[in-house]
Amino acid sequence: MFETDLTELPTADLLASAAEQRAEANRREASLLEHALEYADRHHPDSCPPRPGRRSWQGRERSVVLGGDGCPEVAEFAAAEFGAMLGISAGAAAALIGQALALRHRLPFTFARVRSGEATPWRACRIATACLTLSQEAAALVDKQVAAIVDSVTPLRLENIVKAAKWRADPDAARAAAEEKARERGVYVAQSDEHGTKKVYIRAASGDVIRFDATIASLADALKILGDTDTLPHRRAKAIGIIADPVYTEELLRQARAQLLTQTETSPEPAPQAPPGPNAGPDTAPSAEAAPRAEAEPEPGPEPCPDPEPTSEPEPTSEPELTSEPVSGFGPEPGPDDEADRDAPHPSHSDLPDPLDTPTGAPGEPGWPGPRVDPDATDAGEPLDAAAQRAFDARLAQIKHDAHTTPSAPGGGRAGGRVRSGQAEIYVHLTDHTLATGDGILRVEGLGPLLASQLAELVGHGPYIVKPVIDLNDAVNVDCYEIPDRIRERVKLIHPVEVFPYGTRETDRAIDLDHIRPYDPLGPPGQTGTDNLAPLRRYAHRVKTHGHWKVKRLDHNTIEWTTPHGYRFHVTPTGTHRITDPTPDP
For the segment 9-35, what is each residue's pLDDT rounded down to a tens digit?
999 999 999 999 999 999 999 999 999
Pairing of strands 441-444, 428-429: antiparallel
> What pLDDT score was predicted for residue 337?
37
> What pLDDT score was predicted for residue 263?
79
> What pLDDT score was predicted for residue 109?
96
Q: b/e string for 166-179 if b means 16 or more Cβ within 10 A? A: beebbeeeeeeeee
> What pLDDT score was predicted for residue 457?
67
Low-confidence ranges of the chain (pLDDT < 50): 1, 50-51, 272-377, 409-422, 584
DSSP 245-293: SHHHHHHHHHHHHHHHHHHHHHSPPPPP-PPP-TT--GGGSPPGGGSPP
Task: Give 518-576 pLDDT, tens digit per residue.
Answer: 888 888 888 898 888 999 999 999 999 899 999 999 988 899 999 999 999 999 888 89
> What pLDDT score was predicted for residue 108?
96
Q: List CB contacts of 137: < 8 A, sequence separation 6 or more.
A: 169
For residue 202, count other CB atoms closer than 10 A to its CB: 12
> What pLDDT score was predicted for residue 182?
67
Residue 250, classified by CB atoms within 10 Å of its CB into exposed (0-12), middle (13-18) or buried (19+), is middle
> What pLDDT score was predicted for residue 455?
77
